[in-house]
């Protein structure tokens, strides 16, 4: 059993990445990701890992540097947040189309404007369709574990796709939590050196990222979709191996007291733990409620999700981002799409919560659940609402 240590989560993520034999890292600091950038550069400067740390002038350059490095066969890492991720946006679909297994941490932060540095998911949601594997973490231990796993998933020959690990800014990145690090030898065994499919090398000429017109582009996009959907098999395999090696099991959709629940609260990211406390309180009041936590956002685990909600009558979805002028939040839209063909569709109520770092307390989750149940009794389920907005 590894020793538990108290550590800030962003520092712990950098420590975890430092164990992964990364060849090239290019990380441009941005709040609240900066501690990952700073601490990883410390680890490199101290000679604790043989990594080329490229200091770049922007996030656009950071992702571009790791594209080039990944093309030469290197194991690569970057991390960003908010405006930095928005600046990377142009490059993200290229990474997945080129099948480069770049791993990235996103310290989720609200996007401007107005300028805000605190946590929500409005930075990752605009990247939803970039063709990346996208996962969410709930606590520091998960941030460590998923950061390590991401290299194994990304570099698997069946996958060869980039992975974004989402770690809620401040609410997770700046928390000091008890975490345990796996043994370095076990990590090295778990993620052996990358075996690239092809390498940019003068001896083996290859063109990566070539021009493609309408006669082939359409087919390429189908490949991208199929490969991303297919990656779920490898993700499950890697999580299974992780459970056997390190004892912690991960699932695409996690549940808490959900088996017999008529009402299910749905969260994604760090708020899951707060919601768990709310579920306990509501259970004490004899409310038949449970929690569903989405870990894997892309590829979306449709089957797993349908399975866990199959007996529910009401789903209370929480979204940390808004699809303006659309169906409320993106998680809500996804869930409704997942359930459209089901005969016994539950009612779905979407709450938009915690934008720009607005605190969401246990009592807020309790209120959300109680109010949604009341609305449903009156057949007044709203599509979505901004929870707690001042009126």
Asked if 30 and 84 count as a contact pair (C-beta separation under 8 A), the reply is: yes
When asked if residue 216 is in the footprint of another protein (CB under 8 A), the reply is yes
Cβ burial, residue 237 (10 Å; 0-12/13-18/19+): middle
Residue choice 1, 45, 222, 389 for contact with another protein (CB under 8 A): 222
CB of 70 to another protein, least distance (A): 11
What is the total count of residues that contact another protein (CB under 8 A)? 21
Of 26, 100, 165, 308, the one binding another protein (CB under 8 A) is 100
CB contact at 8 A, 268 and 234:
no
Is residue 226 near another protein by the rule CB under 8 A? Answer: yes
199 or 277, CB closer to another protein?
199
Residues 321-380 touching another protein, rule: CB under 8 A, are none
Characterise 301 by phi-psi region: left (phi > 0), alpha (psi -120 to 50), beta (else): beta
User: Minimal distance in Å, beta carbon 128 to another protein?
Assistant: 21
Report, in Å, the least distance between residue 63 CB and another protein.
16
Q: Which of 50, 54, 57, 82 is nearest to 67 (CA)?
A: 54
Strand locations in 234-328, DSSP E?
253-256, 263-267, 289-294, 296-298, 314-319
Q: Out of 99, 109, 121, 293, point to the residue binding another protein (CB under 8 A).
A: 99
Q: Per DSSP, which regions of 223-304 are E strands?
A: 253-256, 263-267, 289-294, 296-298
Residues 160-179 that bind another protein (CB under 8 A): 160
Regarding 208 and contact with another protein (CB under 8 A), the answer is yes
Of the candidates 115, 206, 243, 337, which one interacts with another protein according to CB under 8 A? 206
Selected range binding another protein among 81-89, 106-114, 144-152, 202-210, rule: CB under 8 A: 202-210
- Phi then psi for residue 176, to 5 deg, are -95, 120
Cβ atoms < 10 Å from Cβ of 331 = 24
CA 182/CA 145 separation, integer angstroms:
9
Closest separation in Å from C-beta 35 to another protein: 33
Binding mask 107-146 for another protein (x = CB under 8 A): ----------------------------------------
Q: Does 90 bind another protein (CB under 8 A)?
A: no
- Report in angstroms how near the CB of residue 22 gets to another protein at its nearest: 21
CA distance 365 to 276: 9
Q: Which of 310, 269, 313, 267 is nearest to 292 (CA)?
A: 267
Contact 37, 107 (CB under 8 A): no
Sign of the C-alpha dihedral computed for residues 172, 176, 180 and 185 taken in this order: positive
Among the residue ranges 6-14, 98-106, 232-240, 277-285, the one whose residues contact another protein (CB under 8 A):
98-106
- Of 27-46, binders to another protein (CB under 8 A) are none
Tell me if 5 contacts another protein by CB under 8 A.
no
Q: Which residues on neighbouring strands pair with residue 25, listed in sequence order?
A: 53, 77
- Given candidates 58, 188, 197, 380, which one binds another protein under the rule CB under 8 A? 197
Residue of 2, 5, 176, 223 interacting with another protein (CB under 8 A): 223
Tokens of 128: 């939803």
Q: Closest distance between another protein and the C-beta of residue 103, in Å?
A: 17
- Is 187 an interacting residue with respect to another protein (CB under 8 A)? no
Task: Tell me how far, at minimum, the Cβ of 208 lies from another protein, in Å.
Answer: 6
Query: Considering only 120-128, 164-172, 204-212, 253-261, which stretch makes contact with another protein by CB under 8 A?
Result: 204-212
In the list 5, 212, 243, 337, the residue contacting another protein (rule: CB under 8 A) is 212
b/e map of 278-312 (b: 16 or more CB within 10 Å)? Answer: bbebbeeeebbbbbbbbbbbbbbbbebbeebbeeb
Which residues are at the interface with another protein (CB under 8 A)?
97-100, 160, 197-198, 205-210, 212, 215-216, 219-220, 222-223, 226
């Amino acid at each position: 059993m590894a020793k538990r240590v108290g550590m800030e989560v962003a520092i712990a993520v950098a420590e975890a990445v430092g164990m992964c034999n990364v060849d090239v890292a290019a990380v441009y600091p941005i709040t609240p990701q900066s501690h990952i950038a700073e601490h990883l550069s410390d680890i490199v400067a101290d000679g604790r890992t043989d990594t080329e740390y490229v200091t770049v002038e922007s996030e656009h350059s950071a992702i571009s540097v790791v594209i080039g490095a990944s093309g030469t066969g290197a194991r690569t890492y970057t991390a960003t947040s908010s405006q930095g991720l928005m600046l990377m946006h142009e490059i993200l679909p290229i990474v997945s189309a080129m099948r480069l297994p770049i791993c990235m941490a996103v310290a989720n932060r609200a996007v401007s404007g107005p300028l805000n540095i605190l946590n929500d998911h409005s930075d990752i949601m605009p990247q939803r369709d970039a063709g990346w594997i996208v996962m969410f973490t709930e606590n520091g231990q998960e941030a460590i574990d998923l950061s390590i796993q991401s290299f194994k998933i990304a570099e698997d020959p069946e996958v060869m796709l980039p992975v974004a690990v989402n770690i809620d800014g401040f609410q997770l990145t700046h928390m000091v939590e008890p975490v345990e690090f796996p043994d370095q030898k076990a990590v090295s065994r778990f993620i052996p050196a990358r075996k690239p499919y092809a390498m940019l090398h003068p001896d083996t000429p290859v063109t990566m990222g070539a021009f493609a017109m309408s006669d082939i582009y359409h087919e390429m996009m189908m490949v991208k979709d199929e490969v991303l959907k297919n990656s779920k098999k490898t993700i499950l395999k890697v999580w299974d191996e992780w459970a056997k090696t390190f004892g912690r099991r991960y699932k695409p959709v996690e549940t808490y007291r959900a088996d017999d629940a008529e009402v299910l609260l749905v969260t994604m990211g760090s708020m899951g733990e707060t919601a768990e406390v709310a579920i306990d309180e509501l259970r004490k009041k004899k409310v038949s409620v449970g929690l569903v936590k989405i870990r894997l956002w892309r590829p979306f685990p449709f089957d797993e999700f349908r399975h866990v909600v199959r007996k529910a009558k009401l789903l209370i979805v929480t979204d940390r981002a808004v699809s303006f002028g659309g169906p409320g939040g993106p998680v809500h839209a996804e869930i409704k799409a997942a359930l459209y063909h089901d005969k016994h569709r539950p009612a779905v109520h979407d709450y938009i919560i915690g934008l720009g770092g607005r605190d969401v307390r246990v009592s807020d989750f309790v209120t959300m659940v109680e109010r949604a149940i009341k609305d449903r009794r009156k057949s007044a389920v709203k599509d979505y609402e901004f929870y707690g907005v001042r009126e």
